[in-house]
């Protein structure tokens, strides 16, 4: 079985807005064993939307529509879907009563337009919306001689998700062959895509029943595995077996085998080992600390840190000797080490991380060109320093530096 | 004139990848006066892609295809477009020679597959790719009795942009009525969408020739204005006039009138006024400093700061008296003020910003519930403190706190 997702809404045809609902729906449909054939975005235009729905129904078994179910005249999805199927809309008295009740409870008069939200495509099942006023709709029909499922969902993400989970997934499960799909992802830091592929391909190609996808994004490599087998247990077993063998090959470069982020893994290990962390950042300007503290509960293991942009701050907050700064320059191996050691001592954490580099685009010199980054980790006994020359724009260099720093902490804790 | 954008590539039908090329192309096409009718994503399947191209050609004047121009068998866009138009492909000897030369210069043998990149749709103009090996293609043709333009561009963003700018925009400008379009955006902080709309609607509705769109995103409100007039100057004049009147109405809540980010505006004013900034952040964990230092040249006005997650760090790095922390709690008006004053003194900056709050989801108390945030700004003479109760998840609360803090600095400097 395959599906197509169509988002309806003119705002998603501007340069300022993306359709993100389709990412969630793709993930859920894939988990049900349904392949996505295509996706599209159409504006608030009834005729164009109707034509797009017909085109989708002509090629896909299941068509998911999101958006355009609100009360205003811009909301055309109900009419467009009815037009595409050649049927009319019926005003549902129960939905209408629920709409009036909703407004009465808030002691405000319901705008006249709102009655449109009670319009149901003839033959459709209305899908209860637990958190909003626009119900979804489920149509099991025959189109051009083939059985098709057309699903209408609101565009508001939390309403869309609530209806999809409670109303659509159970119906789809009944319809589809039992879900025997398992999937997993490995996330890898510190290796290039080509190396990950060269080392893992001999393994994953020997698993003909597991689909493998390799993606490089944001300074990490992801290996996605997916298996469709006779039973869910068998699918899971095959995926786990392949994951295990690739993990053995790639070793500690694999930072996550169940989807966790690098910062989550770092915090998990800090807590498990009873260690605490502090940071002294120059070129990353707080990015490392921001990533660590984005995880709820990080205060148990992360004490704090300093952003030491000006040289005086490196001395003030991390006790970097002025002599070191003069002799070696702020972007140097000894200064990175001094930042790590200094912030560790000042905060009393067990581990101190120092980052210094040239994020660019300006500020590069022959000795310290744009992209040169040092990260250092001190545990009080020894200090490890890593040097890299990154490419890309300012944001990318800073991001890569933060990955290198967090990964250094992770490897130390493993 | 209108257009449709189709991205070709199976990876964009996974839950892990978005098509972002279309945002750039939408912005450029809009600037040329071309409206986007629809956009779509299709996998690496020749027949499905050909059908999608035909569907797009049947409704849009200009169809832009991105992706699928590489050398592998997965790259089906050339074949699919030829199939959609009912013509064949011709191997272009000049492109072929350039491909061989490209490899010869690197002293590596060209993989056999690569010759496919020299295949040009019969009747198409090949578009030189200055940074990659896959050329684009421009087809000016008649489809179902109407003149249509079909454009093929690579999926690699910088190659797509380079070809579009150098080869497509000049051709489109010749084709289209002279571009008399002007657009501008105002960015607003510290007001709700409903208030911005209520106050600006009486003004923008009196400009019938300017299209106004209001968008709320990431704790800011954007007003987009766009005008199509008899001449470019007239369009610009009308947009500028409307912008000016809305700015007068909204006053200093408008932080940007030419697209600058809040952090860029803050740094601009810091430099202009000869002031310097430092930060002491608790709940935002470095987000404010990270945003400020994301701007190139920020080191001229931003000295550094501290991330004071643990209470001891608030004392260690910003000299917050222990007594204050015990009496009022870490999330309180006096502690926010002490953070701002302390970090200012410690760094020697002219302005000090302090942020403290509860980002959640855990850690809330009756006195300091999740979402409560204090930001404080000290200039050595007086300290201003703002209190807010934000809603949303951890990321959203932290982001809103960073907006409030940066906006407090901006308003102080205006």
Which DSSP category does B330 fall into?
Answer: S
Is the Cβ of B43 closer than 8 Å to some Cβ of chain A? yes
Chain-chain contact of A41 with B42 (C-beta, under 8 angstroms)? no
| Nearest-by-CA chain A residue for B45 | A37
CA distance B25 to B84: 22
CA distance B26 to B34: 9
Is residue B345 scored above 90 in pLDDT? yes
Chain-chain contact of B296 with A26 (C-beta, under 8 angstroms)? no
Burial letters for B315-336: b for 16+ Cβ neighbours within 10 Å, e otherwise?
A: bbbbebeeebbeebebbbebbb
Are B134 and B188 contained in the same domain?
no
Question: Across the A/B interface, how many CB contacts are shorter than 8 Å?
Answer: 202
> Whole-angstrom distance between the N-terminal and C-terminal Cα of chain B?
43
Q: Among A130, A160, A175, give the residue marking a domain's end.
A: A175
Are B374 and B278 contained in the same domain?
yes
Are A285 and A331 contained in the same domain?
yes
In this complex, the residue of A41, A303, A309 whose CB is nearest that of residue B302 is A309
Q: Residue A56 — φ and ψ, nearest 5°? A: -65, -45
Are A152 and A71 contained in the same domain?
yes
Are A269 and A389 contained in the same domain?
yes
Indicate the angle between helix axes B311-318 and B333-347, nearest 10 degrees: 40
Is residue B226 scored above 80 in pLDDT? yes
For A64, A322, B93, B302, B304, the CA distances from B344, given in Å and listed in that order, are 55, 21, 68, 11, 10
pLDDT attached to residue A110: 83
Instruction: Tell me if B193 sits within 8 A of B407, measured CB to CB.
Output: no
**Chain A residues lying within 8 Å of B266, measured CB to CB:** none
Confidence label for B44 from pLDDT (cuts 50, 70 and 90): very high
Q: Among A209, A234, A256, give the residue marking a domain's end.
A: A256
Residue matched to tokens 């009138």: B257
What is the tens place of the pLDDT at every residue in B271-300? 999 999 999 999 999 999 999 999 999 999
CA distance, residue A372 to nearest chain B CA (Å): 16
Which among B189, B352, B317 has a CA at the least distance from the CA of B263?
B189
Instruction: Tell me if B360 sits within 8 A of B371, measured CB to CB.
Output: yes
pLDDT attached to residue A412: 97
CATH number at residue A13: 3.40.980.10
For A5, A21, B16, B369, the CA distances from A27, given in Å and listed in that order, are 12, 10, 9, 34
Q: What is the largest CA-CA distance in chain B?
A: 82
Average pLDDT, integer, range B306-313: 95
Instruction: Tell me if B278 sits within 8 A of B305, measured CB to CB.
Output: yes
Q: Which parts of chain A register pLDDT below 70?
A: 179
pLDDT attached to residue B219: 86
A192: which 2 tokens? 């290039």
H/E segment holding residue A287: helix A287-293
Percent of chain B with pLDDT over 70: 100
CA distance A62 to A3: 4
Chain A window 322-361: which residues touch B at a Cβ cutoff of 8 Å? 346-348, 359-361
Residue matched to tokens 């078994």: A61
CA distance, residue A375 to nearest chain B CA (Å): 17
Instruction: Tell me if B213 sits within 8 A of B149, measured CB to CB.
Output: no
Interface predicted TM-score (ipTM): 0.82
Confidence label for B213 from pLDDT (cuts 50, 70 and 90): confident
CA distance B160 to B157: 5
pLDDT attached to residue A180: 80
Average pLDDT, integer, range B23-48: 94
Q: Residue B263 — φ and ψ, nearest 5°? A: -65, -35
Average pLDDT, integer, range B46-53: 96
Which DSSP category does B34 fall into?
Answer: P
Are B170 and B192 contained in the same domain?
no
CATH number at residue A239: 3.30.70.2860
Is the Cβ of A43 closer than 8 Å to some Cβ of chain B? yes
Pick among B286, B317, B364, B399 to test the A interface (most A CBs inside 10 A): B286
The angle formed by the CA atoms of residues B283, A256 and A36, to the nearest 5 degrees, is 100
Q: How many domains does chain B have?
A: 3
Residue matched to tokens 């709320």: B216
pLDDT attached to residue A403: 97
Are B6 and B23 contained in the same domain?
yes
Are B18 and B165 contained in the same domain?
yes
Q: Domain of B358?
A: 262-413
Are A67 and A10 contained in the same domain?
yes
For A144, A264, A303, B59, B361, the CA distances from A298, given in Å and listed in that order, are 56, 9, 9, 53, 12
Q: Among B175, B202, B228, give the residue marking a domain's end.
A: B175
In B93-219, DSSP assigns E strands to 119-121, 125-127, 136-143, 146-153, 181-188, 210-217
| Nearest-by-CA chain B residue for A38 | B42
CATH number at residue A326: 3.90.950.20
CA distance, residue A162 to nearest chain B CA (Å): 17
What is the tens place of the pLDDT at every residue in B135-175? 999 999 999 999 999 999 999 999 999 999 999 999 999 99
What is the tens place of the pLDDT at every residue in A180-217? 888 899 999 999 888 898 999 999 999 999 999 888 87
Tell me the sheet residues that pair with A140: A149
Are A393 and A280 contained in the same domain?
yes
Are B52 and B158 contained in the same domain?
yes
Model confidence, pTM: 0.84
H/E segment holding residue A222: strand A220-228
Which among A317, A161, A215 has a CA at the least distance from the CA of B14?
A215
Are A307 and A228 contained in the same domain?
no
The set of residues, in sequence order, having a beta carbon less than 8 Å from that of B3 and lying 6+ positions away, is B29, B34, B35, B36, B37, B60, B61, B62, B63, B64
A222: which 2 tokens? 């992801």
Alpha-carbon dihedral B109, B113, B117, B122, rounded to 10 degrees:
130
Instruction: Tell me if A114 sits within 8 A of A133, measured CB to CB.
Output: yes
For A25, A28, A34, the CA distances from A210, given in Å and listed in that order, are 22, 19, 16
Tell me the sheet residues that pair with A387: A374
pLDDT attached to residue A308: 96
How many helices and strands, by DSSP H and E, does chain B display? 14, 17
The set of residues, in sequence order, having a beta carbon less than 8 Å from that of A285 and lying 6+ positions away, is A307, A309, A398, B286, B289, B290, B292, B293, B294, B298
Q: Residue B220 — φ and ψ, nearest 5°? A: -135, 160
């Amino acid at each position: 079985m395959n599906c197509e997702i169509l988002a309806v809404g003119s705002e998603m045809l501007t340069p300022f807005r993306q359709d993100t609902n389709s990412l969630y729906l793709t993930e859920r449909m894939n988990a049900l064993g349904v392949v996505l054939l295509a996706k599209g975005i159409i504006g608030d235009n009834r005729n164009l939307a109707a034509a797009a729905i017909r085109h989708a129904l002509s090629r896909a078994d299941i068509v998911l529509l999101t958006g355009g179910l609100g009360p205003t005249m811009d909301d055309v999805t109900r009419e467009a879907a009815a037009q595409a199927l050649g049927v009319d809309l019926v005003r549902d008295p129960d939905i209408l009563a629920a709409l009036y009740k909703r407004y009465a409870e808030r002691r405000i008069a319901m705008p006249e337009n709102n009655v449109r939200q009670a319009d149901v495509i003839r033959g459709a099942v209305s899908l209860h919306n637990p958190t909003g006023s626009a119900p979804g709709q489920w149509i099991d029909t025959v189109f051009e001689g083939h059985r098709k499922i057309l699903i209408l969902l609101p565009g508001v993400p939390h309403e869309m998700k609530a209806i999809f989970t409670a109303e659509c997934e159970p119906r789809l499960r009944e319809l589809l062959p039992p879900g025997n799909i398992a999937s997993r992802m490995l996330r890898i830091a510190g290796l290039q895509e080509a190396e990950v592929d060269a080392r893992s391909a001999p393994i994953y190609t020997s698993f003909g029943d597991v689909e493998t996808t390799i993606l490089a994004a944001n300074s990490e490599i992801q290996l996605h595995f997916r298996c469709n087998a006779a039973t869910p247990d068998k699918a899971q077993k095959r995926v786990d077996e392949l994951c295990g063998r690739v993990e053995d090959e790639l070793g500690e470069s694999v930072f996550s085998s169940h989807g966790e982020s690098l910062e989550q893994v770092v915090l998990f290990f800090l807590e498990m080992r009873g260690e605490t962390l502090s940071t002294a950042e120059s070129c990353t300007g707080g990015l490392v600390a921001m990533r660590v503290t984005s995880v709820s509960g990080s205060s148990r293991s992360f004490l704090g840190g300093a952003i030491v942009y000006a040289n005086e701050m490196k001395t003030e907050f991390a006790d970097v000797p002025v002599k070191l700064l003069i002799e070696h320059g702020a972007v140097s191996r000894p200064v990175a080490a001094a930042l790590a050691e200094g912030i560790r001592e000042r905060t009393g954490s067990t581990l101190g991380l120092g980052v210094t580099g040239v994020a660019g685009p300006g500020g590069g010199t022959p000795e310290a060109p744009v992209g040169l980054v040092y990260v250092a980790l001190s545990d009080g006994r020894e200090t490890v320093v890593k040097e890299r020359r990154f490419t890309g724009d300012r944001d990318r260099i800073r991001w890569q530096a933060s990955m290198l720093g967090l990964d250094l902490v992770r490897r130390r804790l493993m």
